[in-house]
Structure 1
C-alpha cells in the first residue's frame, strides 16, 4: 500500500491483492465508480456501484468500522473520486491501483457476462 497526503489527510493506494484480502475479511466497503454499463458487463463480487458522474461524498456509507476503497477501470477515475472525498472531509478513503484492469491482470476472480445467454457468470482466471 502506498500513502500520500492530500489536504492533510492520507490517501491510500492499494494493490488488487490487498483489496481482495480486505474484502474477503470484511474490512472494507469496495465501491466501483465506473458506469452502470461497465459494472453490468463485469464487476468484482461484493462491490457497490456509485458512478463517478453521480458521486456525492455525503452519500457514501459510514466509515466507523470499515475503510472505503474505490475502484474504476484503470485507477484514474477512482483517484479523482478519492481526492474529491478527501476534500469533502472524509478521512478513510483509498483507491485500487490499476483499477479493474489490474484486478483481472492479477488473475483474481470476478463476475462477468455469459455472452451466449447474457446472464452473469463467475470468472476465475
Structure 2
C-alpha cells in the first residue's frame, strides 16, 4: 500500500481550512526541538491508530523530518483508517524550504540518534587515540562500541540511546509538548 505525496503549500491550504490533520511521527525530543504549527505528535514508537478515531473524517497527512521514515512505514500509517491520507512530500525539511511557519526551540536537545552518533564516534576516536598513545588495549573500547552498534542494528535495541534518553537534558523533553 502506498500513500500519495502532498506538497507543503497544498497541506497549508487544507490545514488553514480545517480540513486536514497533520501527524508528526517523529519522537518527542525531535518534536520539542522543532515542529510544524498545528501538528499532532504521534511517535512511531507509540503509534496507535485509535488515537485518531475522532479525526477519521479529515484528510490525514503524516510527516517526519525528510519523508524517508514516513515512506518506510506507509503500511502501518495507512492502517490508521483515514478516508484520505497523504505523506508530506519532503517532510519538515520541505516545509521549512517553502518558508512556512515552524515552532523552533533551540533550548531543546538535538535528536537522540544524532546524540548516539556523536557519543559513539567520540568513543571510537578516543579508543583509537588512547591505543596509539597509551596502550594497545584501549582498542577494545573501539571494538566494544562497534559491537554495540552492530547489536543495535540487528536487534533494534540501542542501549546507548536508552542511556542518553535518561540524561537530564533529554528528560525535560521526553513527553509530548
Normalised by the size of structure 1, how large is the TM-score? 0.74
2:52 aligned residue? 60
Q: Is 1:29 matched with 2:30?
A: no
* Secondary structure of residue in 2 paired with 1:34: coil
Asked if 2 retains the 8 angstrom alpha-carbon contact of 1:43 and 1:111, the reply is yes
Gaps of 5+ in 1: 1-5, 116-125
How far has the Cα of 1:63 moved from its partner?
4.1
Q: Which has the larger radius of gyration?
A: 2
How far has the Cα of 1:25 moved from its partner?
1.0
Answer 1 or 2: which has greater strand percent: 1
Residue number among 8, 13, 17 corresponding to 1:16 in the alignment: 8
1:20-79: CA deviations, max 9, x gaps?
Answer: 111111110111001101110111111000011111223324344311111100111222
Supply the distance in 2 between the matched residues of 1:110 and 1:61 (Cα, whole angstroms): 26
Normalised by the size of structure 2, how large is the TM-score? 0.54
Gaps of 5+ in 2: 108-177
Aligned length: 106
Asked if 1 retains the 8 angstrom alpha-carbon contact of 2:52 and 2:80, the reply is no
Answer 1 or 2: which has greater helix percent: 2
Supply the distance in 1 between the matched residues of 2:80 and 2:19 (Cα, whole angstroms): 21
Superposition RMSD on alpha carbons, in Å?
1.9
Supply the distance in 2 between the matched residues of 1:37 and 1:96 (Cα, whole angstroms): 20
1:120 aligned residue? none
CA 29–89 in structure 1, closer or farther in 2 if over 3 Å, else same: closer
* Secondary structure of residue in 2 paired with 1:62: helix
Alignment of 1:29-48 (within 5 A): 29-48=21-40
Higher relative contact order (Cα pairs below 8 Å, separated by 6+ residues): 1
